[in-house]
Structure 1
């Protein structure tokens, strides 16, 4: 790390310069982050799945002077290009003067003399000692851009002292870390805030032994790969846990629902007895996925910490504490000590029970310090709706026992004949049907009710789509939530449109059901999914006619 810090200094990097990292999940990504912090440079990571256009937006907004990348990264056993994507972006990035390239996959890339440098060559020649810069606690540590699914990406600014304090404390307490003996695994990507706080800064500050994995959950080890990838086992996560005796697993509900679709036989083939704590991050976890995780991965003995926080908050805000909090499946339970979370109504009045807007009423150590180069947007986005309160757009409800239930974005709440119905509630009811592995719900325009519910579902592997099954699933929601929540239509689809961080892009599903031209799809993990969904929706509509 100190060698690479000297590499950056040798490239003319100074304190407060911005450095763009566009890398796969390899140790060099962490080394580069820490090298930036050592000299007071500001890193900004761009997830390796993003396109050249996304790179241009982020590099130019940050004014980055150096980019660090790799020739490619491995995905499903094959190289996925990175340097070539960066090359396509560079003509539109006037501030970028140097590129450092890790030779990860041995693929052929174009290297521009004077601008592009091989990582190994620079590091091998660098001085091994780099004294750390002495910095203020409010020195900017990094800028991290939100996914930008609806507007220009926001560069969230985090500083050093408070951020590191909260990331380290929450990592230790929420995961019940025993650093001397535990093997901790956060199965996120360093390109997202979860990777920043709970792969890099929190675990390293606590001296944790961590697993870092490059690849997908359905990519087995080389010895187990047949010529047909469709026949590959889908148990890589469970193989890793068994081999390395992982004690904490932190993953997303999207991944858990995918594991459900693949079947419980995959984890059943492995010894997962080393696990002590399970974590969930990224979106509200529906009770059915919570119970599957509890039974099949945790063997009904591992506490589950369902964590709510955001890129903007920097670290955990609402979560149970293992061994302390009595949990409820699907509930994030309560705010951590010292975190002032309150639900308010439209008028900003505090609610003690029922549904409302999730606000934070007092400062916290890891809070964002602003949006890079956009102070007015910062104030408008987070502080204008309820003056004196931080509000980023999430809704929640609080039950009679004081437990918090996250409902997702308030713009994902539907108005059906004057009744406010959360997409999360309907999605949970859909997934409760034994045939459904994953679901997404949107509100479509309806001349009678204002909005009507449309559900998109992915079936479990053992079920085949049919008109009868679609009707059964619709009626199941009726049984669970009442007739007001019954979907107007259930559309069986092969996959759902997700960002590269795994979040469902319901906006695109609304575009499909409304027959509109699709909005921005640059952050989609697989843009072809939308075409498949549109074809399926049109076919189902024809069947109903």
Structure 2
């Protein structure tokens, strides 16, 4: 296991909201609090909702009801609340918090829009009233196909305020995956924009939305945000201008919702063509998000969080509802982090005094190519933490971020969880030392462990990540598909959630995510994650990124095949391929030597910058890749298939 390089100082502990709360609860260290949190989960989550200042219209009578079993917990029984009251309305009573900054939007051209809590609430009120005038009622579903613009935040808040349910599609989707989500949710309305900018290129959205609405058949109204005032096809019987939705001066009351009433359906892709609709509720998701951002990630009222994500991914709603519930500001960011200049990300942190920055490792690997001096040009002293999600780190990229952007002072708070989790499972807490790349603990209230194939806890070897008790934030099934939900997570071992991650847990309780279980390589009986090989490859100065897959082999069962992107100006000839393969062999041994290595111009990635290895494998083996709707660059699959692919064996 890696040795820690960051240690909590007295100043860190003094600032930490979690440390102060922990001592108030009578605990002396994190491990003691963690054991208590899984020893009595009802006690813990009841205290957590109080810690984040949850306000209830009607108090709950019981924190947790497990009468339907572990798969179907009922949280805060009898309680009435609304996520929007706790994210927005409650801050309006105090003039000081009402005038606090709530939302920042930076366009790709550098223009900025800002909204206080009062100004944001006014827009939300008008749109909520407009939705009701358009016939939207409590329980109705509304699709959202928008980039990360202010109207996106206004829309999700307005929808939840009136008791309706939103489901957001990733802003880079084509019509087919949007239509599938609309059909699954039986959405009456779709909110979209005329288009978006990315790397200076205008990307139309209204045309895609029209096609999706026609394919779905259930959409009665399409609301259009005219961000760029371009001419688009208009259907007078169906289309509604956003300005009309927001035109009234009326207000809509914040509906009193039951704790287990859903407010969002977040779809997650799988290996099949049918996405899974995870259901998240008023009394679970937002309270968990508030606790995770406010206490695990130490976001304080009045601070600013910038998380490079999309409302179609789980981190979008987590950041919006979690940050606002803590009285912090959410920064939205149009376009790419290295356009129009390579230093744009660091400039934004300085300009907007960002306290918490959320990124993915691939993003850092992509900006490293512009030089290690780039972050040092900016005042990044506002940064209190850098959060990381989505994929494993390689040590070189982790240390680059820690040293060059964080000056070896800012903690990197890795989180691994998922859409179905409603947050993280394991993470780095500020109360314990942090080592490069991994996680120093399971999160509070998450009874997680690593099991071998015989359902025995395993240390020092790879195993399956499991959760042994329910938790706040877990999906309340799949939308209108409870059997599929139970079959996905609960059928291997009784009353045990199987998450699908291969994990290594050390005797020192340091956790390493090897990768998805179906990504994990088993080479001649040796189980290892692709990230272990990838981190060796990117250690070479010529290599910018790498993706590794396992393919069938008659002798070893499975062998690694590597795909490498070189830094600009690097020549793939001259024996570089053999040199890279030898690097892997020298570090891991001859038995793990890659079968092949291919140089490619790009790897298939999601908008959140995760490499989709199963898509690489399917292209290479000429197999069906399953659902690729979350890919940002689907054309990369065809290139790998043509340039590198072989026939399935």
Task: Give the superposition deviation at 1:304.
Answer: 0.7
Higher alpha-carbon deviation: 508-517 or 494-503: 508-517
Q: Give the Cα–Cα distance (whole angstroms) in 1 for the partners of residues 270 and 463 of structure 2.
A: 25
Q: Could you say what secondary structure the match of 1:318 adopts? A: strand
Q: 1:219 to 1:204 in 2, by over 3 A?
A: same
Kept in 2: contact 1:414–1:421 (CA 8 A): yes
Q: Deviations over 1:133-175 (max 9, x none)?
A: 1111111011011134533100011111121211101101222
Q: Could you say what secondary structure the match of 1:411 adopts? A: coil
Q: 1:519 to 1:195 in 2, by over 3 A?
A: closer
What TM-score results when the alignment is normalised by the length of structure 2?
0.78
Of 332, 337, 340, which residue of structure 2 is paired with 1:217?
Answer: 337
Match of 2:366 in 1: 258
Task: Give the superposition deviation at 1:183.
Answer: 2.4
Q: Could you say what secondary structure the match of 2:546 adopts? A: strand
Task: Give the superposition deviation at 1:196.
Answer: 0.7
Task: Give the superposition deviation at 1:517.
Answer: 6.4
Match of 1:197 in 2: 318
Q: Given the alignment of the two structures, is residue 168 of structure 1 paired with residue 290 of structure 2, yes or no?
A: yes
Of 142, 157, 163, which residue of structure 2 is paired with 1:34?
Answer: 157
Q: Could you say what secondary structure the match of 1:424 adopts? A: helix
Report how many residues are paired: 523
Kept in 1: contact 2:464–2:499 (CA 8 A): no
Of 446, 449, 452, which residue of structure 1 is paired with 2:556?
Answer: 449
Of 44, 47, 61, which residue of structure 1 is paired with 2:184?
Answer: 61
For the aligned residue pairs, the C-alpha RMSD in angstroms reads: 1.7
Task: Give the superposition deviation at 1:458.
Answer: 1.2
Q: Could you say what secondary structure the match of 2:171 adopts? A: coil
Q: Give the Cα–Cα distance (whole angstroms) in 2 for the partners of residues 447 and 382 of structure 1.
A: 32
Q: Could you say what secondary structure the match of 2:426 adopts? A: coil
Task: Give the superposition deviation at 1:270.
Answer: 2.5
Task: Give the superposition deviation at 1:369.
Answer: 0.5
Kept in 2: contact 1:74–1:105 (CA 8 A): no
Q: Could you say what secondary structure the match of 1:217 adopts? A: coil
Match of 2:13 in 1: none
Q: Given the alignment of the two structures, is residue 247 of structure 1 paired with residue 370 of structure 2, yes or no?
A: no
Match of 1:228 in 2: none
Q: Deviations over 1:341-369 (max 9, x none)?
A: 01111121222442210001111111111
Q: 1:111 to 1:146 in 2, by over 3 A?
A: same
Kept in 1: contact 2:559–2:594 (CA 8 A): yes
Q: Deviations over 1:474-532 (max 9, x none)?
A: 11112222222221111111110123332222223223332446655444212222233
Task: Give the superposition deviation at 1:272.
Answer: 2.1
Q: Could you say what secondary structure the match of 2:232 adopts? A: coil
Q: Give the Cα–Cα distance (whole angstroms) in 2 for the partners of residues 269 and 420 of structure 1.
A: 43
Q: Give the Cα–Cα distance (whole angstroms) in 2 for the partners of residues 234 and 149 of structure 1.
A: 35
Q: Given the alignment of the two structures, is residue 319 of structure 1 paired with residue 439 of structure 2, yes or no?
A: no
Q: 1:239 to 1:515 in 2, by over 3 A?
A: same
What TM-score results when the alignment is normalised by the length of structure 1?
0.92
| Superposition map of 1:140-539 within 5 A | 140-180=262-302, 182-198=303-319, 200-220=320-340, 233-322=341-430, 324-516=431-623, 521-537=628-644
Task: Give the superposition deviation at 1:9.
Answer: 0.8
Match of 1:225 in 2: none
Q: 1:89 to 1:161 in 2, by over 3 A?
A: same
Kept in 2: contact 1:7–1:126 (CA 8 A): no
Q: Could you say what secondary structure the match of 1:391 adopts? A: strand
Task: Give the superposition deviation at 1:535.
Answer: 4.6
Kept in 2: contact 1:111–1:117 (CA 8 A): no
Task: Give the superposition deviation at 1:274.
Answer: 2.3
Task: Give the superposition deviation at 1:398.
Answer: 0.8
Q: Give the Cα–Cα distance (whole angstroms) in 2 for the partners of residues 320 and 91 of structure 1.
A: 45
Q: Deviations over 1:98-144 (max 9, x none)?
A: 111110112211121121111112311251x2111111111101101
Q: Give the Cα–Cα distance (whole angstroms) in 2 for the partners of residues 431 and 255 of structure 1.
A: 14
Task: Give the superposition deviation at 1:536.
Answer: 4.0
Q: Give the Cα–Cα distance (whole angstroms) in 1 for the partners of residues 241 and 620 of structure 2.
A: 48
Q: Give the Cα–Cα distance (whole angstroms) in 2 for the partners of residues 522 and 305 of structure 1.
A: 29
Kept in 2: contact 1:4–1:126 (CA 8 A): no
Kept in 1: contact 2:175–2:211 (CA 8 A): yes
Q: Give the Cα–Cα distance (whole angstroms) in 2 for the partners of residues 499 and 428 of structure 1.
A: 20
Kept in 2: contact 1:492–1:536 (CA 8 A): no
Q: Give the Cα–Cα distance (whole angstroms) in 1 for the partners of residues 355 and 128 of structure 2.
A: 33
| Superposition map of 1:75-114 within 5 A | 75-114=198-237
Q: Deviations over 1:196-241 (max 9, x none)?
A: 102x100000010222111111222xxxxxxxxxxxx312111111
Q: Give the Cα–Cα distance (whole angstroms) in 1 for the partners of residues 594 and 377 of structure 2.
A: 37
Q: Deviations over 1:384-423 (max 9, x none)?
A: 1222111121110111211111111111112212222221
Q: Give the Cα–Cα distance (whole angstroms) in 1 for the partners of residues 401 and 611 of structure 2.
A: 20
Kept in 2: contact 1:149–1:523 (CA 8 A): no
Q: 1:446 to 1:331 in 2, by over 3 A?
A: same
Q: Give unmatched runs, 5+ long, in structure 1.
A: 221-232
Of 251, 254, 265, which residue of structure 2 is paired with 1:132?
Answer: 254
